[in-house]
Amino acid sequence: VKRASPGAVYVAPEGEATKPGESLPLPGDAAKVKEYYGRLKQLKQDVDALQEYLKKDEPTPGDMAANKERLKELARINGYLSLSANEVLSRHPLWLIKELEFRDFKLHEALPTVIVNGKNISSRPSLVEEPMSITALPDKEALKEIGGGGIIDKAKESVGGTIKGLFSK
């Protein structure tokens, strides 16, 4: 690509002679580039030193085998090797939700929003001491907005058995 303007060649001022191997002073940005590469060189040296340090303390295969045997012995002494997943899992549910609440839950567009409360919901309800319960009660604020408690009776009539018990305590 043809240049828009001719370039300039850097010429050292008269009287400044350079010796072989000595670099010329660098103008502006070139000095920053030299500093940048100097920092990169130092960073590489630091990384190399860190790698050497880490290699020095790396365990040998013999050390790893001895450590594995030591851990097996500790597990045997503490009784961990006699445990089975069946013993641990059979005494506890896989998951347990102690308390749960959903607000502004929409069952149907014609119905007011409800608040759903759940307690002690578990993967194994028979293993939880407290009984599991899930209730859905109308949101009192939503009822006020749509005209009071008469909507509950209309909703029960129109939807029928699908919401039976949702609006009772």
Per-residue pLDDT at 4 exceeds 50: yes
Answer whether 135's CB lies under 8 Å from 117's CB.
yes
Q: Using DSSP bridges, classify how beta strands 96-105 and 133-138 pair: parallel, antiparallel or unpaired.
A: unpaired
Mean pLDDT taken over the chain: 75
Measured in whole angstroms, how far is the alpha carbon of residue 127 from the centre of its chain?
31
Per-residue pLDDT at 38 exceeds 50: yes
* Count of beta carbons in the 10 Å neighbourhood of residue 51: 10
Q: What is the pLDDT of residue 83?
A: 72
Indicate the pTM of the whole model: 0.34
Q: How confident is the model at residue 31 (pLDDT cuts 50, 70, 90)?
A: confident
Q: How confident is the model at residue 35 (pLDDT cuts 50, 70, 90)?
A: confident
Per-residue pLDDT at 166 exceeds 50: no
Q: What is the pLDDT of residue 98?
A: 92
- For residues 69-86, give the mean pLDDT: 81
The closest of 62, 163, 45 to 110, measured between CA atoms, is 163
Q: Using DSSP bridges, classify how beta strands 114-122 and 96-105 pair: parallel, antiparallel or unpaired.
A: antiparallel
Q: How confident is the model at residue 165 (pLDDT cuts 50, 70, 90)?
A: very low
